[in-house]
Amino acid sequence: MSNSIERVQTELESLGYRTTEYNSPQGRVVSFGYEIEAGSRRGEQVMVGVSFQEEGYPEYPPHWVHVTPPLSDGKQGVVQKYHDSNGREWLAMSRPPGDLWDRLPTKHMATYISEHLRRIWNDT
Amino acid sequence: MTFDVAFTSEACSTATEHLLQHFKENRSQEDLCFALWRPSTGKLRRTALIDEVILPQRDERDLHGNASFQPEYLSRAIQIARRKKVGLAFMHSHPGKGWQSMSSADVVAERDVLAYPAGATGLPLVGLTIGGDGYWSARFWERQNGEMQRYWCEKVRLVGSNSYRIHFNDNVSQPPQRRDILRRTYDTWGTKSQNDISRLKVGIIGLGSVGCIVAESMARIGVTQVTLIDPDRVEEHNLDRLLYANANDIGKLKVELAEREMRRNATSEKIKIDILPVSVHDENAYAKVLDCDIIFSCVDRPVARDVLNYVANAHLIPVIDGGVAVETDQTNARLFSAHWRAHIVTPYHQCLRCNGQYNTSDVTMELDGSLDDASYVRNLPSDQRRGNQNVFPFSQGVAAMEVNLMLRYLLAADWWPLVRQQEYQFLTGESRVINEECQPYCSFRPRRAKGDHEEPFYLINELVEPTKSWWRTISAGLIRTFDKLSRRV
């Protein structure tokens, strides 16, 4: 198991999320149940995943956000679809937190979720 | 293997003030102190990075014209070094000027009294002397076949906010003979400065339109040791910007083209050029970069800039970076704006992340191959797509700005105003100085002078596989040809 994934899982579990791992075309994914927090889809339950390089987290954040059911955020940017080994369709969106991550005082999945993931489906 | 010492500005000021305090009061009194050092290990050079001085406390040293330390002081310094997992350096002052040799008493103190106990840190003792003129000299004491051997350093580098001073050991790194071809250069900044510039080990990372002009400048000003790193080959679309390249050069390695032209135009008697046709995050290239005294970053990729950010901050090797930004009015297909800038990167200058040259997300996108995937790049939002518009005169502008920034950093007196970054606006004709600092949570501030302890996590070895596959291709080709010929026969 890579250092990044191990660390992300630990952080997510410390926040109360149950995580699973699988392989995707965009690398190893850590996924967890997530309730969309803002925008017109607020309150919808989805499975969200982030995929990682082997090392470097938390200084280097993931840029792939995976979601099933495949809910697009309707924004510009790279989007790829694939199926996991259970036949579930996922949407992988390249959504780098480049505008904020390097300036955050604390680089942790708590801030990744509250500062970055929160805004992805926010269409308001 | 060669040896160097590099100081941070704070450590150098603290040590200098302490060691020269008596000379400044016109008393003929030497002094001493200990310091901590961390290793920076290149391909052919080991550098001791000094960022912390351990000043003596009351009664820890005796002053009697010469100076001596009490065992308690040595013991305290070793304990601190062991706790921090760093090496021990011993410094003392001499009234003389320039690079100092050692008296027999100095040798006994360092070799017989200090070098063995300093070995408890796991690193060799580094001895330093400062002359009355503030000129540093240094040596490593390494154990070889059971005996302590002294290895004189080639130079001591003092990295500051407004100046970069280098104290050379003329016995190890001899100044070149004056050459008439360089008389105008000598006339401009004098023999001492020319001797220092010519002995610099200069790295040029990226031999594109800016890098090849920087290389030409280095050849013309008499630099004698250069490392060129770039994995790319000349393509047709490079010919409108790549100095000296023509249609016959298409397909050649850019480092080979730059090397050929540097050899042709060098004004020094001899020039040593190392070329590496790999990325700078290849571990061999990274090690070669750590042998340099100053580096030109002429790259546009985030991973390369991230690597050089490590080198500048953790290894105290100043990096001069720059770039051109051109915006075109898509509707009218006309130039809308253009500006270029250059900046120095050291622990005393804004790092490349904080000054917006790249961010960590760019690095991860390059590392997982996304930025090399044409369909990925095509679908990026327009604000994330990097433009590649440029023309030869703009590249000349950036290259000149980078080279002049280096020269100013090396040559200008400390009292001139600080110049960290420079920018030129093509349409308004305005140039300005920018002296911004890193953001409060910059990841590179804590990496200052940490040397080998801080290394990018993504170093690779490109030389192994390409070499193997190159041989495989050649040998497979030979076998196929042999088969065909055999069948014909």
Three-state SS for B134-201 is CCEEEEEEEEECCEEEEEECCEEEEECCCCEEEEECCCCCCCCCCCHHHHHHHHHHHHHHHHHHHHCE
Burial status of residue B191 (CB atoms within 10 A of its CB: 0-12, 13-18, 19 or more) = exposed
Share of chain B above pLDDT 90, in %: 85
So what's the pLDDT on residue B247? 97
CB contacts, 8 Å: B360 with chain A:
59-61, 98, 101-102
Closest chain A CA to residue B456: A56
DSSP class per residue in A24-76: ETTEEEEEEEEE--SSTTTT-EEEEEEEE-SS-TTTS---EEEEES------S
Residue B200 burial (CB count, 10 A):
23
Closest chain A CA to residue B357: A98
pLDDT above 50 (res B346): yes
> Residue B283 and residue B293: Cα distance in Å, rounded?
18
Please enumerate in sequence order all residues whose Cβ is within 8 A of that of B62, keeping only pairs 6 or more positions apart, or say none: B68, B69, B70
Share of chain B above pLDDT 70, in %: 93
pLDDT band at B468; cut points 50, 70, 90: very low
Of the ranges B22-36, B333-347, B363-377, which is most confident? Answer: B22-36
* Lowest mean pLDDT across B266-275, B277-286, B348-357, B368-377: B368-377
Instruction: Please tell me if residue B281 touches chain A, with a CB cutoff of 8 Å.
Output: no
pLDDT band at B467; cut points 50, 70, 90: very low
B360/A61 Cβ within 8 A: yes
Nearest Cα neighbor of B168 from B270, B98, B91 is B98
DSSP class per residue in B286-346: HHHHTT-SEEEE----HHHHHHHHHHHHHS---EEEEEEEEEEETTTTEEEEEEEEEEEES
Q: Considering Cα of B337, then B438, then A57, then A47, what sign does the dihedral take?
A: negative
So what's the pLDDT on residue B330? 72
Mean pLDDT of B476-481: 49
B365/A63 Cβ within 8 A: yes
Does an H or E element contain A82, and which?
strand A79-83
So what's the pLDDT on residue B105? 94
pLDDT above 70 (res B477): no
- Give the residue numbers in A contacting B (CB under 8 Å), as ranges: 26-27, 53-56, 59-63, 75-79, 94, 96-99, 101-105
* Token representation of residue A122: 């926010």
Instruction: Please tell me if residue B314 touches chain A, with a CB cutoff of 8 Å.
Output: no
Measured in angstroms, the CA of A45 and the nearest CA of chain B are apart by 27
B353/A105 Cβ within 8 A: no
So what's the pLDDT on residue B386? 66
pLDDT above 50 (res B407): yes
Closest chain B CA to residue A27: B368
* Token representation of residue B285: 């290239």
* Token representation of residue A22: 């699988």
Please enumerate in sequence order all residues whose Cβ is within 8 A of that of A48, keeping only pairs 6 or more positions apart, or say none: A31, A32, A33, A34, A65, A66, A67, A117
Instruction: Please tell me if residue B445 touches chain A, with a CB cutoff of 8 Å.
Output: no
Phi and psi (nearest 5°) for B447? -85, 0
User: Residue type at B273?
Assistant: I
Closest to A97 (Cβ–Cβ): which among B361, B367, B380?
B361
Nearest Cα neighbor of B324 from B254, B425, B233, B234 is B425
> Residue B489 and residue B486: Cα distance in Å, rounded?
5
A98/B360 Cβ within 8 A: yes
Give rounded-to-5 percent helix, strand, coil for chain B.
40, 25, 35
Please enumerate in sequence order all residues whose Cβ is within 8 A of that of B224, keeping only pairs 6 or more positions apart, or say none: B176, B198, B199, B268, B270, B271, B272
Closest to A27 (Cβ–Cβ): which among B354, B359, B368?
B368
CB contacts, 8 Å: A104 with chain B:
441
Nearest Cα neighbor of B334 from B397, B398, B389, B393 is B389
pLDDT band at B385; cut points 50, 70, 90: low
A61/B439 Cβ within 8 A: no
Mean pLDDT of B382-397: 82
pLDDT band at B372; cut points 50, 70, 90: confident
Please enumerate in sequence order all residues whose Cβ is within 8 A of that of B453, keeping only pairs 6 or more positions apart, or say none: B38, B314
Q: Are B204 and B218 in contact (CB under 8 A)?
A: yes
pLDDT above 80 (res B488): no
pLDDT above 90 (res B419): yes
Measured in angstroms, the CA of B198 and the nearest CA of chain A are apart by 39
A26/B365 Cβ within 8 A: no
CB contacts, 8 Å: A79 with chain B:
379
B370/A63 Cβ within 8 A: yes
The better pLDDT of the pair B71, A78 is held by B71
Q: How far apart are the first and last CA of chain B?
A: 55
Does an H or E element contain A113, and which?
none
pLDDT above 70 (res B484): no
Mean pLDDT of B169-182: 96
pLDDT in tens, B76-108: 999 999 999 999 999 999 999 999 999 999 999
pLDDT above 90 (res B35): yes
SS3 for B113? helix
CB contacts, 8 Å: A55 with chain B:
457-458
CB contacts, 8 Å: B368 with chain A:
26-27, 53, 63
CB contacts, 8 Å: B359 with chain A:
96, 98-99, 101-102
pLDDT in tens, B217-248: 999 999 999 999 999 999 999 999 999 999 99
Residue B112 burial (CB count, 10 A):
10
User: Residue type at A33?
Assistant: G
Closest chain A CA to residue B352: A102
CB contacts, 8 Å: B364 with chain A:
53, 56, 60-63, 96
B353/A63 Cβ within 8 A: no
Question: Burial code of A26-60, b = ≥16 C-beta within 10 A, e = fewer?
Answer: bbbbbbbebebbebeeeeeebbbbbbbbeebbbeb
CB contacts, 8 Å: B305 with chain A:
none
pLDDT in tens, B1-29: 999 999 999 999 999 999 999 999 999 99
User: Residue type at B244?
Assistant: Y
Place of tokens 């004056």: B178
B439/A103 Cβ within 8 A: yes
So what's the pLDDT on residue B377? 75
Q: Are B327 and B387 in contact (CB under 8 A)?
A: yes
B439/A63 Cβ within 8 A: no
pLDDT per residue rounded down to tens, chain A (124 residues): 568 889 999 999 999 999 999 999 998 999 999 999 888 889 999 999 999 777 899 999 999 999 999 998 888 778 899 999 999 999 999 999 999 999 999 999 999 999 999 999 988 7
Nearest Cα neighbor of B361 from B446, B441, B308, B303 is B303
Measured in angstroms, the CA of A36 and the nearest CA of chain B are apart by 23
Instruction: Please tell me if residue B361 touches chain A, with a CB cutoff of 8 Å.
Output: yes
pTM listed for this prediction: 0.92
DSSP B398: H
DSSP class per residue in B46-61: EEEEEEEEE---TTSE
pLDDT above 50 (res B469): no
SS (H, E, C) B80-106: HHHHHCCEEEEEEECCCCCCCCCCHHH
Closest chain A CA to residue B306: A60
The interface predicted TM-score (ipTM) is 0.91
β-sheet bridge partners, residue B274: B227
Side-by-side strand order, sheet with B334-345:
B272-276, B225-229, B201-205, B294-297, B319-329, B334-345, B421-425, B431-434
User: Residue type at B102?
Assistant: M
Side-by-side strand order, sheet with A64-68:
A19-24, A27-35, A45-52, A64-68, A89-94, A79-83
Instruction: Please tell me if residue B246 touches chain A, with a CB cutoff of 8 Å.
Output: no
